[in-house]
Amino acid sequence: MPTTVSKSLLMSALLIGLANGNAECAEPVPQVTEAPSLQETSEVALNTAGHETGKRGFKHWLRSKTYSPAVDSRYGLKLEEGWEQAAEDLPMVVLIHGYNSGLENNSELLSVIRKAGFPCAGFAYPNDFYVEDSAQRLSRELRAFKQQHKNRRLALVTHSMGGLVALECLENKQLDPGNVERLIMIAPPTQGTLLAQVAIATDVWEHWLGRKNGTPWTRWHDSVADGLGEAADDLVPGSPFLNQLNSRLRNENVQYTIFLGTGASVAQDEMDWLRAKLRSTSGYVPGTSGVAEQLDQMLGEMDELIDGKGDGIVAVKRGQLQGVDDVVVLPFGHLSVTGKAEDEVVRQVQQEVLERLH
C-alpha cells in the first residue's frame, strides 16, 4: 500500500491534470519553405501577438516584453572545446535536452562518448516553447554547421522532448539539414504523455522550488523566456502537433534507435488500490461522481507511472514510433537515466548508445 505522502502527491497531481485536461492544444506553427533567420523567427513569433486573440496571442505578447538578444544567446548549438581535434571520420554527437531541462542536467549522457574520442556538442533551446519553433532553430543551427564543416556528419542523442524536436527537424523535409546520419532517442514521448496535463508543476519546480539562485524577477523572467506551457500543449496525446509529427515517414537517410524505460515508482497494486479507494469514497461528496469517474479512467490509462510499463513520465506504449525496429527497453527512470552512471542500468544505456555510434 502506498504511503500517505505518495498518495497525496499522486492524487493532487492528477486532480490538477484533470482540471486542466480540457485545455485546447495550441495550433501548429505554419510551415516555412526555408529555415528562417533568427531575426525573422523573432519577428514572426513576437509580432503576431497583436494579430491573435486568446491564450496564444497573450503568451506571445508577454514573451515579447521579456525576450532579448541576451536571452537568445543562451540557446543554439554549443560546441565543446577541442572538438576539431577528433578524427574526421567520427560524427559530431549533439545532445538535445528535454522539457524543462538543460544541457547541464544531461551532460552525463555524453561522458562515455567523450572518453571514446567523439567530438561533442549540445543544442539548447527554450525548453517550454512550441516544439516546432525549437525544431526550426535546430535546423538553422545544423545548416550553419554544415556550411562550415561540409564533411562532418552528425549524430543526435536526445532525451525526452528533445527527441520530438529532432524528429520535427529531420522528418519535415523543409527543415531537414541533410547532415544527420543517426538519431538516438532516450525516453521520447512520441505519442505524448498524460503527465503533460500537470506540466505547470514542473515549471514551478524548475524556476522556483528547485532553483537556489536568482531574484524573484529573474526567476519570473527566465520562466517566461523558456516558454509558457506551449510545449506541454504539444505533448498531450492526440495534440495537433503530435498528429502531424506521427503522420510523416521516417527519414531514409537516418538510422533510428529508441531507448524506453520501465523504472517508474508506482507499483500496479498501488495504482489499483488508489483507484478502488477513489471509487469507494466518491459518493460521499455531493457532485463529485462525474469527476471521480473521469479521474478513475485517467488513472487506468496512466501507464507512465506504473513500474514495468513506464519510466515515470513516458509510457513504453507511448514511446514507440512506427518504422523504428531498434527499440531497447530497460528498467530506468525518466530522470535517472540522464545522471551519473552509478547503477548498472544507466551504464548499460550509455554503453549501448556508444555501440550504435560506432
Mean per-residue pLDDT, 192-215: 55
**Is 172 a residue whose pLDDT tops 60?**
yes
Residue 10 predicted with pLDDT over 70: no
Q: What are phi and psi of 238, to 5 degrees?
A: 85, 10
Mean pLDDT of all residues in 322-344: 93
Residue type, 195: L
* pLDDT of 218 above 60: no
Q: For residues 200 and 240, which has the higher predicted lDDT (pLDDT)?
A: 240
Q: Judge whether residue 122 has pLDDT over 70.
A: yes
| Most confidently predicted of 27-41, 124-138, 264-278 | 124-138
How many other CB atoms sit within 10 Å of the CB of residue 212?
4
- Whether 42 shows a pLDDT value over 50: the answer reads no
CA distances from 140 to 98, 134, 147, 307 (A): 19, 10, 11, 39
Given the candidates 3.30.2130.10, 3.40.50.150, 3.40.640.10, 3.40.50.1820, the CATH classification of the domain at 4-21+73-357 is 3.40.50.1820
Does 35 or 343 have the greater pLDDT score? 343
Cβ atoms of 100 and 202 closer than 8 Å: yes
Interval 265-281 mean pLDDT: 76
For residue 281, is pLDDT > 80? Answer: no
pTM: 0.74
* Mean pLDDT along residues 61-71: 59
Closest CA to 352 of 263, 258, 254, 252: 258
Determine the pLDDT at residue 65: 58
d(CA 319, CA 187): 7
The answer on pLDDT for 308 being more than 80 is: yes
For residue 149, is pLDDT > 80?
A: yes
Overall average pLDDT of the 52-60 stretch: 48
d(CA 236, CA 18): 12
What's the mean pLDDT in 24-50?
A: 38
Upper half-sphere CA count for residue 214 (Cβ side, 13 Å): 15
Rounded to whole angstroms, the Cα distance separating 203 from 84 reads: 36
pLDDT at 285: 54
> Per the structure block, which three cell numbers stand in for 243?
498528429
Q: How high is the pLDDT of residue 1?
A: 39
Least confident window among 23-37, 116-130, 193-207: 23-37
Rounded to an integer, what distance in angstroms lies between the CA atom of residue 183 and that of residue 357?
10
Q: Would you tell me the crossing angle of helices 4-20 and 268-281 to the nearest 10 degrees?
A: 70
